[in-house]
Amino acid sequence: MTATPYPGGQWVGTVGDEPVDYPVVGSVNRFLGQVWSVKTDTVNIDGHVVDRDFVVHTGAVAVAAIDDEGRIYLLRQYRHPVAMMMFEVPAGLLDVAGEDALNTAKRELAEEAGLEASEWHVLVDFFTSPGGLSEAIRVFLARDLRAREGGRVLTGEAEEADMPGCWVDLDEAANRVFDGSLGNPTTVVSILAAVTARASGWESLRPGDSDWPVRQHLLDAGRVRTDVAPRH
C-alpha cells in the first residue's frame, strides 16, 4: 500500500477546491446529443491509468429573485428525466456564444419570469454532480425587482411554453426544502444560500459581475460543451 503523504491520513492544508491536471492519455466520444455529450477519458491518476465516463455540459446560470417582501420567485416546469413537475428558480444554459453569465441570467429572468432587477450579486457557485457531470452553475441574487414591460419573453416550446410562477416566502421555501417538497438541486441550493446570505444582511456576497474562475478552468480543460444551438 502506498503511504499517504498526509499525517494520519488527515488533510492539513487549505480547505478549498483547486484545479488539477492529470494527463489524459486517450479520449473517446460515446454520444453526441442536442445539448449533452458523453465521453470516456483514459486518465493517469498518480500512476493509476483508468477510464472515466462523464457527461460534457454547457454550464448554466440560475436566479434567486427575491422581492421587498422577502419572497422568492419559483416557476413550475416539467422535467422529463424524473417524470415530475418541479418548482424551480429561473435558470438556463450558457449556450449563447460570447454572452457572459450575468447577461445570461438577466435574459433568463426576463424570459422565464417576466422580471427585471436593478441589483445583482453572485449568490453561490456549485457543481450539480461532479462525479459524472461537468455542469457548473452560478446562482445570482436579483433584488430591486420590477415587472418587465410586456411581461415574460415567450421563447420556449413544449415544457418551456407554459411555466406558471409564484412568490413564496423565503422561510416557507426553506421549510419545503427540509420536508422534501422541493428537490430540484439548483432550487435547493439557491433557497438555502439565500437564507444564509440574508442572515448577514447580504454583505458577504460578491458583485454580480465577479470573475468565475471555475468556469474558465472548465473551458481551458475542455470540459464544456460549446457547439450547441441556443435553446431560445
Lowest-confidence region among 4-13, 29-38, 133-142, 154-163:
154-163
> According to the model, what pLDDT value does residue 154 have?
67
DSSP-assigned beta bridge partners for residue 73:
167
pLDDT tens for 34-86 read: 888 999 999 999 999 999 999 999 999 999 999 999 999 999 999 999 999 99
Sheet holding 165-169, edge to edge: 84-88, 71-79, 165-169
Domain boundaries, the chain: 18-56, 60-215
Residue 1 has pLDDT above 50, yes or no: no
Give me the catalytic one of 18, 119, 159, 160.
Answer: 160
- Residues 75/164, Cβ–Cβ less than 8 Å: yes
pLDDT tens for 138-192 read: 999 999 999 988 776 766 665 666 778 999 999 999 999 999 999 999 999 999 9
> According to the model, what pLDDT value does residue 227 have?
87
64-75 CB burial, b ≥16 within 10 A, e <16:
bbbbeeebbbbb
From CA 83, how far away is CA 75, in angstroms rounded? 16
CATH H-level superfamily of 60-215: Nucleoside Triphosphate Pyrophosphohydrolase (3.90.79.10)
pLDDT averaged over every residue in the chain: 91
> According to the model, what pLDDT value does residue 149 have?
84
- Residues 64/142, Cβ–Cβ less than 8 Å: yes
- Which helix H or strand E contains 178, and what residues bound it? helix 170-178
First-to-last C-alpha distance (Å) of the chain? 53
> According to the model, what pLDDT value does residue 34 have?
87
Q: Percentage of the chain surpassing pLDDT 70?
A: 93
Residue 2 has pLDDT above 60, yes or no: no
The cell numbers describing 32, all together, are 453526441
> According to the model, what pLDDT value does residue 153 have?
72
DSSP-assigned beta bridge partners for residue 125:
138
Does 99 participate in catalysis according to the annotation?
no
Mean pLDDT throughout 85-104?
Answer: 93
From CA 172, how far away is CA 179, in angstroms rounded? 11
pTM of this prediction?
0.92
Residue 13 has pLDDT above 80, yes or no: yes
Residue at 55: amino acid letter: V
Question: By CB neighbour count within 10 A (0-12 exposed, 13-18 middle, 19+ buried), where does 88 fall?
Answer: buried
